[in-house]
Structure 1
Amino acid sequence: MATSTQPVPAERRSQRPRTSGPGVTFGRVLKSEWIKVTTVPSTVILIISTVVVMVGLAALFAWSQSISAEALSDPDFPAEFQAPAEGPGSPGFAALSVPSSGLIFGQLLIAALAVVLIASEWTTGMIRSTMVAVPKRTPALLAKTLVVAVVAFAVGLGSALISYLVAQPILRGEDIDFAITEDGVFQSILNTGTFLALVAIISMAIGILLRNTAGGVVTAVGIFFVLPLIVQLLSGLADWIPKAARFLPGDAGNQMVSITTLEDDLTQWEGGLVMGAWALGLLLVALLVAKKRDV
């Protein structure tokens, strides 16, 4: 029996049902970016290093407060060098900030990580592959930012909790240990993660804008560390300078994790709102610029 080998007409081929999957969705883009971040060895090493550094600094700070408390109980220690036994300035009061005491270096490492993750894609040209897979730039960049922010939040929260647990045996020797439910302690631990997440968003925005790893890292370090020092040096020139300095990202972030705040300083909520405004504003500008530039 002969079989027909004639080609199927084009009009009949066009009528065949087409199978289509979900295509490029934000969830898939998010999963892709998560795989990128968590499977690169250098990224994992930097994340672990951040946790180790933050916990180590917290342990050292707890040890220093323990030594101060021990000195208070020594009758031969000169009174002019002694800290108050209770209240602000006392070792017991200062010990409450132990969980967040590693932020000074934690924010530096997270800022560097965020800048490297995004700016290196432009440096190596990998961003072209990303944009081919996800033609709409905004979802791709938002997914990258969200993943890094979640990682930074987990690092900050986890480091603060571990720091609390590590510090308690050190502080207990001088009877200045404290419960996590004490006023402001858990909020400070939670805000440590929130602060690092906002640092990551700001740094990602800087990386998107500059598209250069070295320039992005230097700019992030300048904003969080150098700029506050410059403002502090200039604060004696005019009364408005220290008042304006409260709204810098670093200063506002420090207020976020504070146990108590002074009368003229931002409160924890105000500090969080200022940091959030910086993060949201820079991210929106970065996304708008990225849509108009060539890849």
Structure 2
Amino acid sequence: MKITAGGVVAAEWTKFSSLRSTWITTGISVFLLVAFGMIASASVSGDNLTSVDLALSGSVLAALSVGVLGALLGAGEYTTGMIRATLAAVPRRLPVLWSKSLVAGSAAFVTMTAGAFAAFAAGSAVLNDELGAVGLGDDGVLRALLGAGLYLGLVAVLGVALGILVRSSAGAIAILAALLLIVPGLAALLPESISEAITPYLPSNAGGAVMMLTPADGALAPWAGLAVFAGYVIATLAAAAYRLKTSDA
């Protein structure tokens, strides 16, 4: 029986949705986004902060969570040995990578976009009185909320690519955490001239620019930043595709 692209996607969705870890990790991701947004909106104040910035303050932890979800989907079958059966059923191999990426990215985009809007609504309801609220109709608000979903969806795809590239859930999660959390901190320790030059182009900083209502000094423009982050994701997917195609399972 011929395996179609739709059949591969359907198979990957079945694997993805049938795992308890999928729903637990997705639930944690949404919870972190909404809970941290509410806490920040109620308690934090600052001249350069907007209600959107505060509502999306949980996006860093949510990114790590959805990235873990992607890494588990990408590397999980290597851990159990089921990848051999998957590649035997799909001998061309690359459709497996594209299908896993599509499933993880789409699921993360839908749930995290809903989470971003929920965080904004909940945060606006408990907003610190010292801050002025903004509405969905204000400039940049919809872009920031939709951008949060796009960024977090791409993080999930990055997790899938890393999982297939290194073939280890733990290894992929460690690399993802380093890229999103540790590397920006290390860059801040560099001489100021070097740090200012490279910091906007680091993965989490570039991708996070799309969620800023007003770009910070030195930051990339919103869509330019997301494009840079997408470039990192595409490069990692290319590396994962090469290894998947040229090496044994």
TM-score of the superposition, structure 1-length normalised? 0.80
* Residues 1:279 and 2:233 aligned together: yes
More displaced stretch, 267-276 vs 95-104? 95-104
| Cα distance change, pair 192–175 in 1 and its aligned pair in 2 (3 A) | closer
Indicate how the Cα distance of structure 1 residues 139 and 235 shifts in structure 2: closer, same or farther if over 3 A, else same.
same
Map 1:216-231 → 2, pairs under 5 A: 216-231=172-187
Structure 1 counterpart SS, 2:201: coil
In structure 1, C-alpha distance between the alignment counterparts of 2:207 and 2:100, rounded to whole Å: 22
Gaps of 5+ in 2: none
Deviation at 1:138, TM superposition (A): 0.3
TM-superposed CA distance for 1:266, in Å, is 0.7
Shift of 1:155: 2.1
**In structure 2, how many angstroms separate the alpha carbons of the residues matched to 1:176 and 1:244?**
33
Which residue does the alignment assign to 1:41? 20
Matches for 1:236-251 after TM superposition, within 5 Å: 236=192, 239-251=193-205
Do the aligned partners of 1:99 and 1:189 also contact (CA within 8 Å) in 2? no
Query: 1:55 aligned to 2:55?
Result: no
Give the deviation of 1:107 after TM superposition.
Answer: 0.5
Does the 8 Å CA contact 1:247/1:274 hold for their aligned counterparts? Answer: yes
**For 2:172, what is the secondary structure of its paired residue?**
helix
Report if the CA contact (8 A) 1:97-1:185 is conserved.
no
Name the SS for the 1:246 alignment partner. helix
1:101 aligns with 2:57: yes
Question: Pairwise mapping of residues 1-295 of structure 1 onto structure 2 (< 5 A)?
Answer: 23-65=2-44, 68=45, 88-89=47-48, 93-171=49-127, 176-236=132-192, 239-295=193-249
Name the structure, 1 or 2, with higher relative contact order (CA <8 Å, separation 6+).
2
Cα separation, partners in 2 of 1:211 and 1:41, compared to 1, 3 Å: same
Structure of larger gyration radius: 1
Q: What does residue 8 of structure 1 align with?
A: none
For the residue of structure 2 that corresponds to 1:218, the secondary structure is helix
SS of the counterpart of 2:127? helix
Shift of 1:172: 8.1
The letter for the 1-side match of 2:63 is Q
The 1:263–1:61 alpha-carbon spacing in structure 2 relative to 1, beyond 3 Å, is closer
| Residue 99 of structure 1, CA deviation | 3.3
Query: Which segments of 5 or more consecutive residues in structure 1 lack a partner in the other structure?
Result: 1-20, 69-82
Once the two structures are superposed, what CA deviation does each residue of 1:194-233 show, in whole Å capped at 9, x if it has no partner? 0011111222111111101111111110011111111111
Distance 1:39 1:123 in 2: 17
Query: Per-residue deviation at 1:173?
Result: 6.0
Is the 2:210–2:225 contact (alpha carbons within 8 Å) kept by the matching residues of 1? yes
Contact 1:46 1:113 in 2 (8 A): yes
Whether contact under 8 Å (2:41, 2:55) holds in the other structure is no
How many Å apart are 1:251 and its aligned residue?
0.9
Note the alpha carbon deviations across 1:155-197, whole angstroms, 9 max, x for none.
2201101111212221286673321111111100000010011
Q: Residue type of the partner of 1:293?
A: S
The one-letter amino acid of 2:235's match is G
* Structure 2 CA distance for aligned equivalents of residues 96 and 196 of structure 1: 16
Bigger proportion of residues as helix = 2
Change (3 A) 1:170 1:149: same
In structure 2, distance between residues paired with 1:58 and 1:103: 9
SS for the counterpart of 1:183 is: coil
Identity of aligned residues (%): 29
- Describe the SS at the equivalent of 1:101: coil
